[in-house]
Amino acid sequence: MKKESWSSQLGVILAVTGSAVGLGNFLRFPGQAAIYGGVSFMIPYFVSFLLIGLPLAWTEWALGRYGGHRGFHSVPGILRSVTGKRWTAYVGSLGIMVPMLIFMYYVLLESWCLVYAVKYLHGSMHLGDSGHFQAFFANLIGIDSNGAIFSGGLFDGRIVAFFICFLVNYYLIYRGISRGIEAFCKWAMPLLILFSFIILARVLTLGNPTGLEGQSVQDGLAYVWNPIRPGQTVWTALANPEAWLAAAGHVFFSLSLGMGIIITYTSYMKNDDDIALSCLTAAAGNGFCEVVLASMMVVPAAVMFLGPQFMTVENLGSSFTIGFQALPQVFDRMPLGQMFGFFFFALLFLAAITSSVSILQPPIAFLEESFGIGRHRSVAILGVISLLGASFIGYFSKGLTALDTVDFWIANFFLFIVAGMQVFVFAWVMGIDKGLEELRRGAHIRIPGAMKILIKYVAPIYLTVVFTAWVWKNLPDRWHQICSDGTVQLSIGFILLIALCCLAVTVYAVKRWENNNR
Ligand code: PHE
């Protein structure tokens, strides 16, 4: 089988950045930053970035390149090749389940962005008051009843948008690492940045569009950036445990950690390509998109047009409310709003595609190396599975229960587990010295000696504390939901089914590798 690889160092950096920059950057981050405000969120965000974000990203890059050199490209294969132990492959099968399941609902969100972008391009997104925007979105996602999105038949706009997204993803992944993913990211990423600057320039030059008190551009920026809110001191601002939890969770999701993505992407690098600086560049690029670009446009625009009274936790806490209901009202009131609306949703769409192709690659690599089959056959198998899975999540749309359940357990709970497992293998099984040596090989920057302590002790402890606090806070409610809601039970059953399939294939794969002396 032909060995795949990136065609350039820039390619892998752009692909990892493309994976990291997604809806999380443009919708989730501004919302969280506005809820907790200034210092209360930004400091925990930077601390989490330094203590777990960057160290964990470095471990994923190092493990990936190491495993790739030994001929493995998926979490189970790589962990087993690093440790020489079967059980690490079995646990590593979680690193296949996570991306597979995330794709099944992320592609739905992507199709919503596409619908919005097309409607703006067409100039038909004038919906009048806020109620109409809510109704439009509710109808699009079928929130009122199960099966609603299928009610209009196969040629309904929602289904067509879904298929377009699905096919774009599969087309890119079918073309492969350098001709598909890399080639796409090389033009999608600059375009995305260009669109952001266009919107940013618009928002920052609006002055005070409504003429109302407290709704100028400065007021909008202050909503996210004012270091201390009235009545707070630096210390009370920093003493909110929820902000620390939210920031750590966000750093994880945003950098695409614990999803098996980075480890797979970097396994296609050359053995002495730099990873230290490349990883830092990708992480910084991701931070730039959310800290600088997104926080200067999304929330300020909402404050300027909808007023500070709109800035409630309910409205800001949900990416769906900000993105699909609040911002359309903003564009509705903005001069040339249809055009800027198009740029914004096209930007979201591009950001989403570069993320969703990245979650397809780990399961593709896994199928290839488990069964010894080629890319095209793996793509076909995964295509059928993800189509069924996305239909399942799309069908159980009432209250978005299935989507929410999968998102909670997979994109939060298991993300921590997979990331924890990787850092454990890197620091304790492979051994921190050997790990750091791997990280330093070919490095264009010096990795500080303190990284040893950070990766071996600080990151795992920080991770455990955050995870425990998060479980403590969320699990009781979630458990109650599992006991009382049929759709939640079904969704959990679905997750278990996928987990079992991944495990079964891993068991088979390990046997095959052992027989082949790999
Ligand atoms: N980092 C992505 C984001 O911010 C998260 C993600 C990556 C989601 C890959 C899906 C696939 O949106």
Q: What is the DSSP string of 446-491?
A: PPPTTHHHIIIIIHHHHHHHHHHHHHHHHHHHHHHHHHH-HHHHHH
pLDDT by residue (tens digit) across 492-508? 999 999 999 999 999 99
Quick: pLDDT tens for 456-473: 999 999 999 999 999 999
Pocket test for ligand 1, best of 355, 358, 393 (most atoms within 8 A of CB): 355
Question: Could you tell me the two tokens for 200?
Answer: 């940013």
What atom of ligand 1 comes closest to residue 290's alpha carbon? 4
Can you tell me the mean pLDDT for 474-479?
95
- To which H or E segment does residue 497 belong? helix 486-515
Ligand 1, residue 356: give the atom nearest the CA.
11
d(CA 429, CA 426): 6
Coil, helix or strand at residue 257: coil
Residue 487: pLDDT band by 50, 70, 90 thresholds? very high
Question: Which residues contact ligand 1 via a Cβ below 6 A?
Answer: 19-20, 22-25, 102, 106, 253-254, 256, 259, 355-356, 358-359
Encode pLDDT of 107-153 as tens digits: 999 999 999 999 999 998 887 777 888 999 999 999 999 999 999 88
Calculate how far, in angstroms, residue 247's C-alpha sits from the geometric centre of ligand 1.
15
Distance 50 CA to ligand 1 centre (A): 19
pLDDT band at residue 277 using 50, 70 and 90 as cut-offs: very high
pLDDT at 75 over 80: yes
CA 151 to chain centre: 30
- Going from the Cα of 355 to the center of ligand 1, the distance in angstroms, rounded, reads 5
Ligand 1 mutation pick, 17, 105, 106, 262, max ligand atoms within 8 A of CB: 106
408 class by beta-carbon count within 10 Å (0-12 exposed, 13-18 middle, 19+ buried):
middle
- In the prediction, which pLDDT does 154 show? 87
pLDDT exceeds 60 at position 62: yes
Rounded to an integer, the average pLDDT of 177-206 is 97
What pLDDT shows up at residue 127?
A: 75
494: burial class by Cβ within 10 Å (0-12, 13-18, 19+)? buried
- Looking at residue 392, its pLDDT comes to 98
Taking 70 as the threshold, does the pLDDT of residue 2 lie above it? no
Long-range contacts, stretch 423-428, CB < 8 angstroms, 24+ apart: 423/55, 423/56, 423/59, 423/455, 423/459, 423/460, 423/463, 424/460, 425/63, 425/79, 425/82, 425/83, 425/88, 426/59, 426/62, 426/63, 426/455, 427/59, 427/455, 427/456, 427/460, 428/456
Phi, psi angle pair for 307, to nearest 5° = 85, 160
* Average of per-residue pLDDT values in the chain: 95
Q: Which atom of ligand 1 is nearest to the CA of 255?
A: 1
Reported as a single tens digit per residue, the pLDDT across 12-48 is 999 999 999 999 999 999 999 888 887 889 999 999 9
Give distance in angstroms: CA of 25 to centre of ligand 1.
Answer: 8
Interval between CA 357 and ligand 1 midpoint (Å): 10
Digit-coded pLDDT (tens) for 286-307: 999 999 999 999 999 999 999 9
Q: Which residues, other chains included, contact 483 with Cβ-Cβ below 8 Å and sequence gap of 6+?
A: none
Reading the block at residue 116, the tokens are 């919005």
Residue bearing the CA closest to ligand 1, atom 8 = 355
The arithmetic mean of pLDDT across residues 70-86, rounded, is 96
Whether pLDDT at 309 is above 60? yes
Residue-level pLDDT at 1 = 57
354 CA distance to ligand 1 centroid (A)? 9
Distance from Cα 256 to the centre of ligand 1, integer Å = 6
Q: How far apart are CA 68 and CA 283, in angstroms?
A: 21
pTM of the model: 0.96
Q: Whose CA is nearest to atom 4 of ligand 1?
A: 24
For the segment 333-386, what is each residue's pLDDT rounded down to a tens digit? Answer: 998 999 999 999 999 999 999 999 999 999 999 999 999 999 999 999 999 999
Find the 411 Cα to ligand 1 centroid distance in Å.
Answer: 9
φ, ψ of residue 388 to 5 degrees: the values are: -65, -45
Contact (Cβ atoms closer than 8 angstroms) between residue 75 and residue 92: yes
Q: Closest residue (by CA) to atom 9 of ligand 1?
A: 355
pLDDT for res 144: 95
Ligand 1 mutation target, pool 27, 28, 256, most atoms within 8 A of CB: 256
Q: If pLDDT is split at 50, 70 and 90, which confidence band does 315 have?
A: confident
> 268 C-alpha to center of ligand 1: Å?
20
> Rounded mean pLDDT of 45-64?
97
